[in-house]
Structure 1
Amino acid sequence: MKTPILSDYLLQHFDKQSPGPSNQQLYRLLRKAILDRVLQVDARLPSSRDLARELATCRNTVLYAYDQLRAEGYIEGRSGSGTFVTDTAPQEGALNQTPMSHAPLGAQVAPILSRRGQELVAHAGAAAQQWGPFVPGVPDVVQFPHQTWSRIQKKVWRRPSPDSLTYAQGGGYLPLRVALADYLKVARCIDCSPEQVVITTGIHQSIDLCMRLLSDPGDLAWVEDPCYWGTRNLLRASGLNIRPVPVDAEGMCPGPADFAAVPRFIFLTPSHQYPLGMVMSLARRRLLLEYASRNDCWIIEDDYDSEFRYNGRPLAPLQGLDSAERVIYLGTFSKTLYPGLRVGYLVLPRALVRSFVTGVNELHRAGTIQTQATLAEFITEGFFTSHIRRMRTTYARRLGLLQQLINKRFDPSVVQTIGSDAGLHLVLQLPDYCNDQELAAKATHAGVAVRPLSLYYHDATRSAQGLLLGYACVHESQIAPAFEVLARHIEHELWNKPAPLSRNDAEYRASRNKAVL
């Protein structure tokens, strides 16, 4: 027995030449016919043989589609009668219990995102380009010792234990936590036991974990101004009130009005302020530690790239001075190894360890034990410190080359560099009359991905103008050509303003005009 409406519908849409399995195509067409009411409730479907013959396809194709529809409840077989469409519509009156919107068709009644989601998306700072000149904050992943890592990884994967392939417990792979505690004691003067180290996927997850476990919406947080955009956005998303505290040559510089409003958190990058690069003085460190101790504040210390200091030894972090255990220390391997590794860690005060271990297991179902095992052996065998020493030399050489180009091209009274003795980037400070966001957009379009300094400030009206230039991921042979592209964009910006350009401004203009003529 044929169903004329169904036959016409299937003959019109079923195409055996289309890519993909025919059985799935037929299943989707039949399901659509039922949902669109081409087939009404209790409509009888053709037998599998009849439908296969009508569509000139094999019977197994039809049987697959019928079986899938029957399993999902769209059709049912009735003994001795055939296969029929079932009634899948909501029960009568169920929707009447819910108030209906009377807005015009297509009108947006309410925002799709929550207020928290809107804040997060509106202030998103992640750039689309994460590699190339002069992307800031990215190490040279080409120089990573891939063969050594691969050898260790193969060894780890040769006979993995069942525990290493399931969810992680206890704050991460214990040998990695032991290796990290040993490394931090020697390299960063951090006093901690392996139990105080909790493995995360990076700085963002570490901060998110702190916010979820230690804050309530409406709590106050001090942040450096300017500061890392990711920190500020995570705080917004957590519903915290942000108080930007300006920085000076000694780091975060709170005033009487700041001290009067006691924060729940104080976020700091004391060893190398991000993005400006100054080092927090010992007096300022002791002041903030004493204030946190007296007022039960938590200091979140982000020690994001302190291994790369080119003048003298890396400076000891706040955590090493913290006798009251108010500092939560954040570290990551994104800058020292490669960002895609997605391994970071927290060093916690002892009173927080148990709760954070429970929190990371409950919220994130931690894993990646095999990766952590590889990293643990990479550290204990000495490859990590060797890689740091080698890359410190490489980055210092690239920094020096870039500084030479800047000093040769621009007058330091107009364009100057700051924060250039550590880290993976320097800041090219521009006159206030420049528009660093427009300049960065033009440079990025030309293939040189710099970041505007003004975006790191909480209040755009009080921001400084400048560009962040990451030199770590640019090979020496690419630095000069990339800088030439950037310099011409900077010069164009400066030429259109009433200010001097460079030491050779007049000669450069004359040669340029002569070339044009």
Structure 2
Amino acid sequence: MLWIPIDRSLDMPLIGQVYGQIRDRILKGELPSGEKLPSTRELSGELKVSRNVVLEAYDQLLAEGFLISRRGAGTFVAEGACLEQRRRVTEAMAPSVYDNLLRDEGLVNFRSGIPALDRFPRRIWAQLSSAVWNEASPAVLGYDTPEGRPELRHVLAQYLLKSRGVYCHPDQLVITSGATQALSLVSKLLLSPGDEVIMEDPITCDIQAMFQAQGATIRFVPVDEHGMQTALLPQESSPKFVFVTPSHQYPLGGALPIQRRIQLIQYARTHDCYLVEDDYDSEFRYEGPPVSSLQGLEPDRVLYIGSFSKILSPALRMGYLILPMPLVESCRRLKWYADLHKPSMDQLILARFMEGGYLERHIAKMKKLYKSRRDCLIDCLRSAFPGRVNIIGDSTGLHLVAEFPGRRFDEEAVRRIKRMGVKVYLVEEHANDKEAQRSRLILGYGHLPKEDIQEGIARLSRALLGM
């Protein structure tokens, strides 16, 4: 008799329990090929279930080839249905960085690049979403073009000209799944294995990894308080492009002055390469006038990347890439291969949000909030570490760098600080010349209320006392 445990307390239907257990035993070889199974009447009586339960389980196993039925003889295990079993992985995978971020409850987490998500304009977004869905024609619900909805590209081109001095035709815009996809498209569009890329040092380690995954070799140029030191650009190189964050260098925060921008453009002309400009959060500038884009100086040689992750929310997964016209068609083709197109309705909602002036009003409101949180962080640092901390790169964005002369931070130091209930991040992690960055921490503040900032710096102060 075939023994199958039945648990009526489970959510799984009885049919599924009978089917699943017979299937598993056949795959494991516990029921060998050619073995005859009990009749449906016998098995239903043994299990005390309806005969229909066993009939349906057998029918499913017959349909999938696990069983064969011989007229007048019965039901048998089919040949070739046993699969050699490998050891099942029962251990949980190592937690990813994102899992860890979700589990850091109780910590004051100074992660950079996170906006104040609780201030997302939900009410107006919901209203616009309802209107867009109610008014959308059937054609909008079909397949779309890889470069994105013309409504969004048109309003975005106008907005970028007004706010960032970016010169482009809507046809030069490709709407992407955040800046990450834009960077991926740039990598595939411009790089082949062995090609050279010039980058700032330090610069986001994730972007370095993305270019290296495409087979590129990276040449680093150090930055100072004004961004990339363009006088140190390698003249003997033949790079495919120079990657820069000229309006707010990440992570050190410098803004590239016009003289260096001109040097950079002259270098690109001389070496016949492109410039890739990542303009990730420069809308939030607190000191001095807004810094215009590099793209506005040399539209035919600059690929410009932006997103709405810092302005609105990372959950929107909405970014954009502006390309010189000769690259547009190739990029559209790559985008089509990647995901066909971004969700059309999300694009139309964002276009309506921008057309109504809601984006500019949201940025103005958030700029005041972030400035007050930045000021709070600076005051707390100077109060907790009088004369022992230097503030770097605080004029723009959602983070600053705190330098503690004479101290050396490494991963072990970060762990010790975390045990005190505060999470900080190393500049060194993003640096090629790590020794020069040992005393510097990245402190993000955009998502933190003032009371959390105050508590976080108090905990950091206590942690550093013991180091």
Report the equivalent of 1:115. none
Is 2:430 the counterpart of 1:456? Answer: yes
Report the equivalent of 2:264. 288
Partner SS state of residue 220, structure 2: strand
Which of 464, 468, 472 aligns to 2:446? It is 472
**In 2, distance between residues paired with 1:90 and 1:35?**
4
Measure how far apart 1:89 and its partner are.
5.6
**In 2, distance between residues paired with 1:432 and 1:477?**
29
> How many residue pairs were aligned?
455
Measure how far apart 1:63 and its partner are.
1.9
The aligned runs of 1:157-196 (5 Å cut-off) are: 157-196=133-172
The aligned runs of 1:63-212 (5 Å cut-off) are: 63-88=55-80, 128-129=100-101, 133-212=109-188
Report the equivalent of 1:50. 42
Structure-2 change in CA distance of 1:311 and 1:439 (3 Å): same
The aligned runs of 1:475-490 (5 Å cut-off) are: 475-490=449-464
Measure how far apart 1:21 and its partner are.
1.6
The aligned runs of 1:352-431 (5 Å cut-off) are: 352-412=327-387, 414-431=388-405
Measure how far apart 1:64 and its partner are.
2.1
Is 2:8 the counterpart of 1:33? Answer: no
**In 2, distance between residues paired with 1:201 and 1:445?**
36
Is 2:298 the counterpart of 1:326? Answer: no
User: TM-score, normalising length from structure 2?
Assistant: 0.91
Q: 1:285-309, CA deviations, whole angstroms, 9 ceiling, x for partnerless residues?
A: 1111121122221211000001000
Measure how far apart 1:81 and its partner are.
3.1
Measure how far apart 1:153 and its partner are.
1.0
Structure-2 change in CA distance of 1:85 and 1:125 (3 Å): closer
**In 2, distance between residues paired with 1:15 and 1:137?**
49
Measure how far apart 1:216 and its partner are.
0.6
Structure-2 change in CA distance of 1:351 and 1:449 (3 Å): same
Structure-2 change in CA distance of 1:352 and 1:399 (3 Å): same
8 Å contact kept, 2:227–2:255: yes
8 Å contact kept, 1:31–1:74: yes
**In 1, distance between residues paired with 2:225 and 2:288?**
18
**In 1, distance between residues paired with 2:330 and 2:233?**
33
Which of 14, 32, 54 aligns to 1:22? It is 14
Measure how far apart 1:473 and its partner are.
1.0
Q: 1:221-278, CA deviations, whole angstroms, 9 ceiling, x for partnerless residues?
A: 1111111122112112222111221112332125667221221121100001000001
Report the equivalent of 2:222. 246
Opposite residue 406 of structure 1, the aligned amino acid is L
8 Å contact kept, 1:133–1:479: no
**In 1, distance between residues paired with 2:303 and 2:111?**
29
Measure how far apart 1:164 and its partner are.
3.7
Partner SS state of residue 151, structure 1: helix
List gaps (5 residues or longer) in structure 2. 88-93
**In 1, distance between residues paired with 2:267 and 2:382?**
41
**In 2, distance between residues paired with 1:451 and 1:193?**
39
Opposite residue 214 of structure 1, the aligned amino acid is L
Identical residues among aligned pairs (%) = 37
8 Å contact kept, 2:242–2:274: yes
**In 2, distance between residues paired with 1:386 and 1:242?**
40
Opposite residue 333 of structure 1, the aligned amino acid is F
Report the equivalent of 1:114. none
Report the equivalent of 1:316. 292
Partner SS state of residue 39, structure 1: coil
Report the equivalent of 2:91. none
Measure how far apart 1:194 and its partner are.
0.9
**In 2, distance between residues paired with 1:62 and 1:127?**
42
Opposite residue 351 of structure 1, the aligned amino acid is P
**In 1, distance between residues paired with 2:260 and 2:233?**
17
Structure-2 change in CA distance of 1:391 and 1:217 (3 Å): same
Structure-2 change in CA distance of 1:136 and 1:170 (3 Å): closer
Mark the structure with the bigger radius of gyration: 1
Partner SS state of residue 77, structure 1: strand
Structure-2 change in CA distance of 1:447 and 1:201 (3 Å): farther
Measure how far apart 1:355 and its partner are.
1.2
**In 2, distance between residues paired with 1:215 and 1:163?**
36
Measure how far apart 1:310 and its partner are.
0.5
Structure-2 change in CA distance of 1:25 and 1:234 (3 Å): same
Partner SS state of residue 280, structure 2: coil
Structure-2 change in CA distance of 1:23 and 1:356 (3 Å): same
- Measured on the aligned residues, the alpha-carbon RMSD in Å equals 2.4
Measure how far apart 1:47 and its partner are.
2.2
8 Å contact kept, 1:129–1:449: no
Opposite residue 71 of structure 2, the aligned amino acid is S
Report the equivalent of 1:219. 195
Structure-2 change in CA distance of 1:254 and 1:191 (3 Å): closer
Measure how far apart 1:195 and its partner are.
0.8
Opposite residue 307 of structure 1, the aligned amino acid is E
Partner SS state of residue 455, structure 1: helix
For structure 1, which segment, 338-347 or 71-80, has the greater mean C-alpha deviation from structure 2 after superposition?
A: 71-80
